[in-house]
Structure 1
Amino acid sequence: MKRRLEKSIEDKLISSCLWSNEIEQDCKNQNVFFAIRDNRIDLYHKGGKLFTYDGSGFKTHLKYASVISSNGKNYLTESELLGYKLASDFESNYPRIKENCSNYSGIEAFGVSNLYHRHSYLSSSNVVVLDVEISFGSFNEENKQDRIDVLLLNKDSKSLQFVEAKHYSNKGIWSQTTPAVISQIKRYKSQIAERKPEILSEYINYIRIINRIFGAALPEPVEVDNNVTLLIFGFDIDQRNGRLNNKILQNKEYAGIKIYKIGDIKQVKPDNLW
């Protein structure tokens, strides 16, 4: 797990037209979430990876970029199609690429996006989303990677906490015996216990880069919480009072796991996740 960005890549990003004319302001407005990897930037929008950026420039998925350059018409005939061409640059077709990106998101990824679009590290919240889709090399031979959904930063306590998000419909939270999410969270806790110094070091570097690029003043973390919060969302009142209460909250297998439940994820207050 590396969180670094060579200065040459950073400088090239900042000097690019797509960044300066479109993406930078979208990040500041929390329409796009900027995440640093190993000499790569991942840019997220409404649950999808809108672009990646490395030394070779911007990249996006073919299904996002496959848009027809518009002449102002929303409909066209088959014969008119012959005169159209696919978009040839990212900047002029940026709104359409974002639209396509949002149309392909899964229910859980889209749910998580409500957190980083409202409470990113560029927001005024005290508890903010610092990173998403955090991958670790697995200690378990059955899993190549352990990927945790969200990393929060508490500005006051200068501490980090991981969150695993599950939609109510996810089968991994339901079982007559031991739900799959239990072993998942136990693996994540083992990762945190084993890698605490590495996690702190990499995210101190991450924050320094964020502060430099955006002129922010995020505090550097000094601690990583041992717990992984399980966020369950996407249920109505009847489901909460029925199956959720009976099958999860009263399930002894969940003892020792911190659960935060909310029907409408748009209503989440990050301080309550802590």
Structure 2
Amino acid sequence: MKRRLEKIIEGKLISNSLWSNKIEQDCKNQNVFLAIRDNRIDLYHKGGKLFTYDSNGFKTHLKYASVISSNGKDYLTEAELSDYKLASDFESNYLRIKENCSNYSGIEASGVSEIYHKHSYLSDSNVVVLDVEISFESLKQENNQDRIDILLFNKESKTLQFVEAKHFSNNEIWSRTTPKVISQIKRYESQLSKRKNEILSEYIDYIKVINGIFNIALPEPEELDDNVTLLIFGFDNDQKKGRLKKLIFQNNEYTGLKNYSIGNIKKVVTGNLWNAKVL
């Protein structure tokens, strides 16, 4: 798990016209979320990875880039098709690529995006989303990697907190015995326990890069919450009083696990998510 970016890559990014003309302002407006990897930047939009950027420049998925250059017409005949060509550059087709990206996202990734598009580290919130889709090399042979959905950062307490997000329809949270998500959360918490110093060190570097790119002054993290919060969303009031209450709130297997449940993910307040209670 590395969170660094060589200065030469940072410099090339800042001087790139796609960045300066399109993406930079979208990040500041929280329409795009920028995350640092190992000498690579991942850019997220509406739950999808819009672009990556490394020493070779910008890249996007083929399904996002498959955009026909338009002459103002929304419909064309088969005979007209041969007169059209695929878009040949990212910048002039940026809006269409973003549109395609948003159309391919899964329900949980889209849900997470509702949080980072309102509460990114560029927002005025005290508790901000610092990173998403955080991958660790697995501590167990049967899993190649562990991936946690959200990393929150409390700027006042300078503390990091990981969150795993599950939609109400996800069968990993449902069982009359032990739901699969329980072992998942325990595995993640084992990662945090064993790698606490490494995680703090990497995110100190991460924040230095973020501060440099956006000319801001986020404080460096000093603490890491040992517990992973389980965020459950996407249910109505009847489901909350029924299945959610019976199979989660009243399920002894969830005892001791931090949980925050909310029907409408768009209404998440990061301060409340941060203060999630133990079941």
Runs of 4+ in 1 over 2 A off after TM superposition: none
Unaligned runs of 5+ in 2: 275-279
Partner of 1:171: 171
Identity of aligned pairs, percent? 77
TM-score between the two structures when normalised by the length of structure 2: 0.98
Q: Secondary structure at the match of 1:166?
A: strand
Q: Distance in 2 between matches of 1:12 and 1:217?
A: 22
Which residue of structure 2 aligns with residue 273 of structure 1? 273
**Match of 1:3, as an amino acid?**
R
1:256 equivalent in structure 2: 256
For structure 1, the residue ranges without an aligned partner over 5 or more in a row are none
- Alpha-carbon distance in 2 for matches of 1:270, 1:38: 27
Deviation at 1:217, TM superposition (A): 1.1
**Match in the other structure for 2:183:** 183
Instruction: Give the partner amino acid of 1:145.
Output: Q
1:214 aligns with 2:211: no
Aligned to 2:78: 78
**Mapped partners of 1:48, 1:92: distance in 2:** 20
C-alpha deviation, 1:57, in angstroms: 0.3
User: CA offsets, 1:128-147, max 9 Å, x none?
Assistant: 00000000000111100000
State the alpha-carbon separation in 1 of the partners of residues 118 and 140 from structure 2.
34
CA distance in 2, matches of 1:44, 1:164: 17
Q: In the alignment, what sits opposite 2:128? A: 128
1:141 corresponds in structure 2 to: 141
Q: Provide the residue aligned with 1:55 in structure 2.
A: 55
In the aligned structure 1, how far is the partner of 2:27 from the partner of 2:207?
A: 15
**Could you report, residue by residue, the CA deviation over 1:90-111 in whole angstroms, capped at 9, with x for unpaired residues?**
0000000000000000000000
Distance, in Å, in 1 between the alignment partners of 2:30 and 2:100 is: 18
Q: Deviation at 1:162?
A: 0.1
Residue matched to 1:245: 245
Q: 1:239 is matched by which residue type in structure 2? A: Q
SS of 1:153's equivalent in the other structure is: strand
Matched residues in 1 for 2:118 and 2:162: separation? 18
Which secondary structure state, in structure 2, belongs to the residue aligned with residue 198 of structure 1?
A: helix
- How many pairs does the alignment contain? 274
Write the distance in 1 (CA, Å) between the matches of 2:140 and 2:149.
19
CA shift at 1:191, angstroms? 0.3
Residue deviations 1:67-93 (CA, integer Å, cap 9, x gap): 100000001000011100000000000
Mapped to 1, the partners of 2:244 and 2:179 lie a distance apart of 13
Q: Distance in 2 between matches of 1:272 and 1:27?
A: 24
SS at match of 2:228: strand
Residue 193 of structure 1: aligned partner: 193
- Give the equivalent residue in structure 1 for 2:118: 118
Separation of aligned partners in 1, 2:215 and 2:14: 13
Distance (Å, rounded) in 2 between the aligned partners of 1:157 and 1:8: 32
Q: Structure 1: how far apart are the matches of 2:124 and 2:176?
A: 42
Q: TM-score, normalised to structure 1's length?
A: 1.00
Whole-angstrom CA distance in 2 between matches of 1:194 and 1:29 = 36
Instruction: State how far apart, in whole Å, the 1-side matches of 2:265 and 2:218 are.
Output: 25
Secondary structure of the corresponding residue to residue 79 of structure 1: helix
2:3 corresponds to: 3
1:64 equivalent in structure 2: 64
Q: Deviations 1:4-29 (Å, cap 9, x if unpaired)?
A: 00001000000000000000000000
**Alignment partners' CA distance in 1, 2:226 and 2:249:** 21
Structure 2: distance between partners of 1:257 and 1:50: 33
Q: Which amino acid aligns with 1:134?
A: I
